[in-house]
Amino acid sequence: MISRRLFTQAVVAGAAATSLAACSSDTPVAPAKSPDLRAGSGKNTSLGTIKQINAGVLDVAYAEFGPSTGQPVILLHGWPYDAYSYVDVAPLLASAGYRVIVPYLRGYGKTAFLSAQTVRNGQQSAIASDIAALMDALKIEKAILGGFDWGARTVGVMATLWPERCKAAVMVSGYIITNLKANQQPLPPAAEQGWWYQYYFATERGLLGYRQNRHDFNKLIWKNASPRWAFDDATYERSATSWGNPDHVGIVIHNYRWRLGLAPGEPQYEAHEQELAAAPAITVPAITIGSDFDGAAADGKSYRAKFSGKYEHRVFTGIGHNVPQEAPQPFAQAIMDADRL
């Protein structure tokens, strides 16, 4: 889910009840104008043939849409979601001539580690390194990157560490790169309550509980994070199959324990994490999106200074956390508009 910092700001402004838990322009913040932000949501039910490719430490499963000669777009999901978050977005972009790649992150779907000895590591720079390796394997030098939740964090990490690989970025909830030192600071009580699942995951009971109950656990997260999204059982079950990945529980638990300083990262990523700890500004062209999930932080003002290049911010009122699946047309439009910044 999103950063503790953003959630705290929402709570302080009285918005806790509605939350679960780069780039210079003076473009004013304004709600996205659309007669129906949810138009087209649920239109598609298949990602087509899922492809596989060896990339870095993984055999990555991914869906591909559009012409092979099109401008590459890589769309990244979060937890507890999967590639189906883009089942309606990807065809829209493909019809506009883009080559769209939608990978399953480590621990999801058919994505698998090539070696049993590789640490099942969920830290942010490891996941970003996976995407850089995927781009290398697919011979994609530079792409438009878009994402939400873990995906938005990964986009931000890539735009920071490897801006030369990022033509433009679209990030739901804005700048949510994890700062381990900041995560050690206590939050107001209502905000701490919002992160109950992270503290649950910090315990052995939480590990066992998620392993045994992740189907119902993740459905609860979906409902809490997007209370106005009337997804049906079939939509949920299509994504739920991804959490049967044998590494899923290990990756999720490590991700949240690492964020709280309760699990170590790997030495090969330490230099990246040190760079990210400085909270550098994102310089590539970017569009950020706020939704109801973000509470008072939806206006983007709290992270505006973190984008020092061409930049726009949009607010999708009435939409929850899974923005691309809930509002596919405006999300796809944001990708296309970012391409033109």
Are 245 and 80 spatial neighbours (Cβ–Cβ below 8 Å)? no
Pairing of strands 58-65, 112-113: antiparallel
Can you tell me the mean pLDDT for 92-98?
A: 98
Which token pair is 91? 């065809």
Q: Indicate whether 32 pLDDT > 60.
A: no
Closest CA to 152 of 65, 81, 221, 210: 81
Label residue 262 by pLDDT band (50, 70, 90): very high
Return the percentage of the chain with pLDDT > 70, whole number. Answer: 90
**What CATH number has the domain bearing residue 296?**
3.40.50.1820
Interstrand relation of 286-291 and 166-172 (parallel, antiparallel or unpaired): parallel
Query: What is the rounded average pLDDT of the residues 266-272?
Result: 97
- Tell me the pLDDT tens digit for each residue of 1-11: 655 444 444 43
**C-beta separation of 177 from 147 below 8 A:** no
pLDDT in tens, 194-226: 889 999 999 999 999 999 999 999 999 999 999
Query: What is the chain's alpha carbon radius of gyration, rounded to the nearest angstrom?
Result: 18
Which residue range forms the structural domain that includes residue 55? 4-339
The pLDDT of 122-129, averaged and rounded, is 98
- How many domains does the chain divide into? 1
pLDDT, average across residues 103-113:
98
The arithmetic mean of pLDDT across residues 62-88, rounded, is 98
Distances 262 to 61, 111, 207, 248, 251 between C-alpha atoms, Å: 30, 26, 13, 18, 14
- Whole-prediction pTM: 0.91
